[in-house]
Amino acid sequence: MAHRQIDPADPTGEFPIDPAGYFLHLMLIINRRRDARVEQLLRPLNMTVDGHRAMRIIHIRSACTMGELADYAIIDRTTLTRIVDRLVSDGLVDRSKPPGDRRKIVLTLTESGLEAYNRARRVIGRFNVELTRGLDEADFRIAARLQQRIVARVVEDEELAQRLMLLEGDAKPKSGRGRA
């Protein structure tokens, strides 16, 4: 397999740097700028981007442990603990210990949490529609498939990459080779 030479310039002159590097650079700009705008939109709902992300993962999985939430949210555990503490004190998330494993903490959305999550989801959904209006769905599908391939390379463990992308199963690597 031939190795692609890293060239700081796009040989076609279309982009300021090589296309792959430019793609990753643009992903970072999109993520950070979008998060900043979503943070503003969520402020009137007394919610943060990270709080909403945590609630989204708990909602999608129906319930999850702190460890699973940390792996899926890709937020360090100390920061995540503060986020979850706030969600619990706001009455949006419930912490419980399942019978038989007193060390494990399971997180679920409360009824108020589900209502708050759905309000935030509608606000973010409207913003996403505005942000992507007029753009071709086929292009998003191509970009998403490309991102899936990059995730598979970054995560290294194929099963773990699949679980993270689909928010399924245990987010811990089975082989211990990769980490998200």
Per-position pLDDT tens, the chain of length 180? 555 555 578 888 899 999 999 999 999 999 999 999 999 999 999 999 999 999 999 999 999 998 889 888 888 889 999 999 999 999 999 999 888 877 888 999 999 999 999 999 999 999 999 999 999 999 999 999 999 999 989 988 888 888 888 866 555 555 443 333
φ/ψ (deg, to 5) at 3:
-90, 135
User: What's the whole-model pTM score?
Assistant: 0.80
Burial class, 69, CB count within 10 angstroms (exposed 0-12 / middle 13-18 / buried 19+)? buried
Which CATH entry fits the domain spanning 36-133: 3.40.50.460, 1.10.287.130, 1.10.10.10, 3.30.70.1350? 1.10.10.10
Question: Rounded to whole angstroms, how far apart are CA atoms 107 and 97?
Answer: 9
